[in-house]
Amino acid sequence: MRNAKGNEAQLDHEWVELIGSARSMGLSMEEIRQFLKQANQAAVGLSYALAFGRQHTEAMQ
């Protein structure tokens, strides 16, 4: 398989299986994209909150 730049791309077989499972449950590709986007946004928010909490804790010591 080749990527957009024409280079050989490696498929992550766990991701392929995950997407296949979601599709077999009836999810559309757009629904899968939206879920992954929301999960990523939540992870970024959590990461920011944890960093803020660590800074606050260090400042209080």
pLDDT digits over 19-56, tens only?
999 999 999 999 999 999 999 888 888 888 888 888 87
What backbone torsions phi and psi does residue 32 show, to the nearest 5 degrees? -65, -45
The two tokens of residue 5 are 């730049």
Please give the Cα distance from 23 to 25 (Å, whole number).
5
Please give the Cα distance from 36 to 39 (Å, whole number).
5
Range among 4-8, 50-54, 57-61 rated most confident = 50-54
pTM, two decimal places: 0.58
